[in-house]
Structure 1
Amino acid sequence: MKRSVQRLLMAAVTFSVCAGAWAGEYSKRYERIASFDGTELGALVLEPKNQGNGPFPLVVMPASWSLPNLEYLGRASQMAQDGYVVVSYTSRGFWDSAGKIDVAGAATVEDVSSVIDWALANTRSNPQAIGASGISYGAGVSLLAAGRDPRIKAVTALSGWADLEASLYANQTPSRQGILLLGGAGGLTGRPGPELSAVISRSLVGDFQGAVDAVMPVAAERGAASELANINANGTAVLLANAYNDALFPPSQLTAFYSGLRGPKQMLFSQGDHATAELTGALGLDNQVYTAATRWFDHHLKGAANGVPAEQPVRLSTTGGQWLGYASWAAVQANPTVYGLTKPSGLISPTGNLANANATGWSHGILTNVGTVSESGVVMISGLFQGLGLPTTASIPLVNRSGAAVWSTPALTSARVLGGAPSLRVTVTPSQRNVSLFAYLYSVNALGVGELLSYKPVTLRDVTAGRAQTLDIEMEAAAAEIPAGRKLVLVIDTNDARYADRTSSFGSVSFSSPASAPSQLKVPMR
């Protein structure tokens, strides 16, 4: 298997070298780079040719989870043609790289520094102009490496994570589909270490809590949030880019990390799912995310006066294709429209109002483990369709009110643009010690068809049954044009196929709005 993969990679590189030689602007070769502990990493090395003597800025690209170093070949070729030394390598434990998959452990992060050492010794790389870039696993590893290696001056982290727990265990709710996807892909394309082996074995028998528990003891140190102080001390220039419907690393887990960065920074949120917004860019095609990433390196590694510092650092792409610019994440969230939740009423389809004023003193109950048509969608599929203009939908009149609480605004009298993360405060009283809740926000047309804007899970564990508690839930970031005549609709139920819930049958959840903490939905709109 290993020899076959190596021959395949060599054939691809040989073809690319011929094409590169014909262009006469850069060279490519395949290398086996020995890391700090002797582990050999399969790497593609691209170096400028006939572009002067150098030295040239260096960009190291760790490959994504389950993908080989060919992942970035199109973009890396363009960068080499433009005067960069690029080393794209397969992450430890996958395909043609030796070792075991350690889930962004210390060895995988140290590999980045070892590749930098090799490049400085074996290519015409500039030690004062070093960047790291990656998608998904490569993004998270690049950020971690930036905290531990001050030589890294700039990072572009695309579809990555800063907080592993918030990504795969949001509000104590395991991402069933996300865990199955990562575990299955890792097992098929690599050699799992102890932690990933435990994740795979436990998820195969449906023990998703056990799968999460296998990683949680080290989750904090495996996210860039743990390296924030070091990244700031190093002055690293950081560009983050994620998609709203990212099924593995949703955007909300990045915002606190971004806000804590003190050096040069940008954050871009696009339509789509995990790694789909930048996929064409990795292949070398025109792509807005990779255009921003390349300009980031041009400015911070080459010193190009290309206007990057004057750009709005936070940019959100809407469903209609416009980009909203903000000075900070706090500016995104400033001055939201606030709706008060009222008591749902009606015999057949009880529905509450999202009103302009708070309403207190009411309560409304639903049954647990009752299926409804509200869902967050399918990992890697729904978000991809959303990026193509086909959002996840639900018929709001068909939402089973015995298993879901529903609130709606009146029809909007003018078009609005949502940009940011909605937030929900609601008081709940469960009849059981454990229950999962799923909040969905829809844009609903005159026929009652709702397009999913945002969602969020939250799981209550070992609480006192019958005791009220107020929840503050930050939903996922979104950006969408909402035409006049549509309604905003909030749905809360107790099941979602994407997640492993703790909801049991024959229970109930009561929603209320005490005067001390009125139930509210805040939506950043303009």
Structure 2
Amino acid sequence: MGYPHKVLRSTGAGAVSATLVAGAALGLAPAAHAAPTVQAPAIGTATSTATGTASAPGIRFVDIAGDGGTVLKANVVTPAAAADGTRRFPVIVLPTSWATPQVEYLAQAQKLADSGYVVVTYNSRGFWQSGGYVEVAGPQDIADASRVIDWALANTPADPAKVGMAGVSYGAGISLLAAAHDPRIKAVAALSGWGDLIDSIYSGRTQHLQAAAMLGGTAYLTGRPSPELQRVLKDFLGSNLAKEQELIAWGKKRSPASYVDRINDNGAAIMLANAWGDTIFPPNQYASFYEKLTGPKRLELRPGDHATAEATGLLGLPNDVWTDTTRWFDHYLKGTDNGIDREQPVQIKSRSTDGYEGYPDWKAVGPTRKKIALAGTTTVHANVDSGANGGILMLSNALDQFVQVPPVASVPLLPRRYATVWQSEKYGTPQQIRGTAQLHTTVTSTKESGTLVAYLYDVGPLGLGKLVSNAPYTFHGQTPGKPFAVDLELFSTAYDVPAGHRLALVVDTVDPLYIEHNPTGAQLTFSSPAADPSYVSVPLREQ
């Protein structure tokens, strides 16, 4: 399984099993385990579901032949104006999110149809009643998207010159990958997705345990993971370093960032939206991907966790993300002059205040940097959670979104044997943090491998720290007793520190969100050599 020293105990099958239990508690029913590959009608035909009738006017439930003839369960919603059969309409294709059934987008699909779009939503292969295996946005998933477009052009009044794709999470990733491979796609709205899959769940060379276990567990509950995915999950959660390069290659093949030149060449207009606290696809990797796009583009970042910012829109309720998604398609598919192309392309909302801030690009978000010196030499003992942590997957940052209660820690009470703490002076004026804080320090380990987790806290007068950002970092192959430099980007955020508060940088070695690689008895020493001082660089908005 890689190396013999200690890793976080809830790994591998145990973590997946725990997730299965949690999923069952949430009411997720196992998918029917039908034959994984089912021959569907040829492209250009459609069959009804067993009901034989649409569930509402304008909605049809159909089978679409995906790559290799695999059945994809789908819904088709057409505008009322299509009844006369004389017009063609822009078409939007919506692949479902991970582990969700095909009805996920029906509320938004109906709204889009009412405003003049043909909408085809389909259950991604391997999940629920669609055939095939879960391939994690692999080549077959990309080919499926093109087959669905083929079907829509042959079986609906869809305009072949006005094709768009959108989706939440898994649907977002598939949409971006499809835009790199199918030049017919003219506009994409990728909500809570990923640009770089490896940088999402393996950032800092550290496995994001809860994220990977949740994805794996729900795949088993609601679908049929492919043999390849089963091997990848086993190696990833089991910390099999011998397979690390294979894992990275597997993830890069499924990362839109690997195909950014194709996306740019095809010229699709790309809208990206994500949450600051996304514990599955952190915002850093999305912002980095956004900067590499050269065509029409937009980046929106808001408070919340994975897919929580757009969740109310899936229920048909008013929602900023879906409103802007519709505006994006209206402009780039219909040609509507609604001004979205003239707005600042980077739109962010602080976790602390209402209202949006517009910027010309990502680099302009936090142009001023203030360094907090991390002076002195401190040593921490590994393998024990100090009490500083990044919270609970999907829950903690959702609480921050709705009631502004992020994960907290009493900074004065953190045990200095297991955590090292540096604090700034008290600020006389509010500090508007915008962007990506960066840690630079020197570490000396008693072992050749290890993990550290950095946390940036907003500390009030009573010492209670509210989590601003965090990130893990794992190293292997270091010489025990020999210092080495560590540079770590914390997850991007927008947070306002009140006057009279201070910032604290805390580093420990254990966090339930991540797999840690500290051998038993390991110690980490943090120092600040005169020739290479340690610091945390905090990005601030110009005021």
Normalized against structure 1, the TM-score is what? 0.90
After TM superposition, the structure 1 stretch with the greater mean CA deviation from structure 2, 313-322 or 116-125, is 313-322
> How far does residue 506 in structure 1 lie from its aligned partner after superposition?
1.8
Aligned partner of residue 37 in structure 1, secondary structure: helix
Letter aligned with residue 394 of structure 2: M
Aligned pair partner of 2:504 in 480, 489, 493: 489
> How far does residue 309 in structure 1 lie from its aligned partner after superposition?
1.2
Q: Distance in 1 between matches of 2:52 and 2:489?
A: 46
Aligned to 1:227: 259
Aligned partner of residue 288 in structure 2, secondary structure: helix
2:477 aligned with 1:445, yes or no?
A: no
> How far does residue 211 in structure 1 lie from its aligned partner after superposition?
11
> How far does residue 269 in structure 1 lie from its aligned partner after superposition?
1.0
> How far does residue 511 in structure 1 lie from its aligned partner after superposition?
1.2
Q: Distance in 2 between matches of 1:212 and 1:284?
A: 44
Q: Distance in 1 between matches of 2:413 and 2:272?
A: 39
Q: Distance in 1 between matches of 2:290 and 2:530?
A: 35
> How far does residue 321 in structure 1 lie from its aligned partner after superposition?
2.0
2:395 aligned with 1:381, yes or no?
A: yes
Q: Distance in 2 between matches of 1:455 and 1:10?
A: 47
Aligned to 1:38: 69
Aligned to 2:136: 103
> How far does residue 317 in structure 1 lie from its aligned partner after superposition?
1.1
Distance 1:144 1:268, change over 3 A: same
After TM superposition, the structure 1 stretch with the greater mean CA deviation from structure 2, 68-77 or 515-524, is 515-524
Q: Distance in 2 between matches of 1:297 and 1:484?
A: 42
Cα-Cα RMSD: 2.0
1:143-189 Cα deviation digits (max 9, x unpaired): 00000000001110011111111111111100111111000000110
After TM superposition, the structure 1 stretch with the greater mean CA deviation from structure 2, 318-327 or 171-180, is 318-327
> How far does residue 257 in structure 1 lie from its aligned partner after superposition?
1.1
2:428 aligned with 1:413, yes or no?
A: yes
Q: Distance in 1 between matches of 2:161 and 2:274?
A: 28
Gaps of 5+ in 1: 22-26, 344-362
Aligned partner of residue 69 in structure 1, secondary structure: coil
Aligned to 1:462: 477
Letter aligned with residue 535 of structure 2: Q
Matches within 5 A, 1:316-465: 316-319=348-351, 320-343=353-376, 363-388=377-402, 389-465=404-480
Q: Distance in 1 between matches of 2:277 and 2:329?
A: 26
Matches within 5 A, 1:143-154: 143-154=176-187
> How far does residue 283 in structure 1 lie from its aligned partner after superposition?
2.2
Distance 1:11 1:314, change over 3 A: farther
Contact 2:235–2:243 under 8 Å retained in 1: no
Aligned partner of residue 339 in structure 1, secondary structure: strand
Aligned to 1:347: none
Distance 1:482 1:328, change over 3 A: same
Letter aligned with residue 253 of structure 2: E
Letter aligned with residue 328 of structure 2: W
Q: Distance in 2 between matches of 1:16 and 1:277?
A: 28
Q: Distance in 1 between matches of 2:147 and 2:136?
A: 18
Q: Distance in 1 between matches of 2:51 and 2:459?
A: 49
Aligned to 1:72: 105
Distance 1:13 1:337, change over 3 A: farther
- Relative contact order, higher structure (CA 8 A, sep 6+): 2
Contact 1:85–1:124 under 8 Å retained in 2: yes
> How far does residue 3 in structure 1 lie from its aligned partner after superposition?
10
Sequence identity (%): 43
Aligned to 2:523: 508
Letter aligned with residue 273 of structure 1: D
Q: Distance in 2 between matches of 1:475 and 1:3?
A: 41
2:313 aligned with 1:281, yes or no?
A: yes
1:227-258 Cα deviation digits (max 9, x unpaired): 10000001111011111111111111112211
Aligned pair partner of 1:243 in 275, 279, 287: 275
Q: Distance in 2 between matches of 1:515 and 1:282?
A: 54
Q: Distance in 2 between matches of 1:504 and 1:33?
A: 51
Contact 1:174–1:209 under 8 Å retained in 2: no
> How far does residue 322 in structure 1 lie from its aligned partner after superposition?
2.6
Aligned to 1:350: none
Aligned partner of residue 78 in structure 1, secondary structure: helix
Contact 2:331–2:340 under 8 Å retained in 1: yes
Matched positions, count: 493
Runs (4+) off by over 4 Å: 1-4, 9-16, 199-203, 208-214
Letter aligned with residue 433 of structure 1: E
Letter aligned with residue 426 of structure 2: A
Aligned to 2:198: 165
Contact 1:244–1:478 under 8 Å retained in 2: yes
> How far does residue 425 in structure 1 lie from its aligned partner after superposition?
0.9
Gaps of 5+ in 2: 1-30, 35-47
Aligned to 1:313: 345
1:482-523 Cα deviation digits (max 9, x unpaired): 211111111011111111110123222111222332212111
Aligned to 1:47: 78
Distance 1:211 1:287, change over 3 A: farther
Contact 1:370–1:402 under 8 Å retained in 2: no
Aligned pair partner of 1:303 in 332, 335, 343: 335
> How far does residue 14 in structure 1 lie from its aligned partner after superposition?
5.6
Aligned partner of residue 109 in structure 1, secondary structure: helix
Contact 2:431–2:497 under 8 Å retained in 1: yes
2:165 aligned with 1:132, yes or no?
A: yes
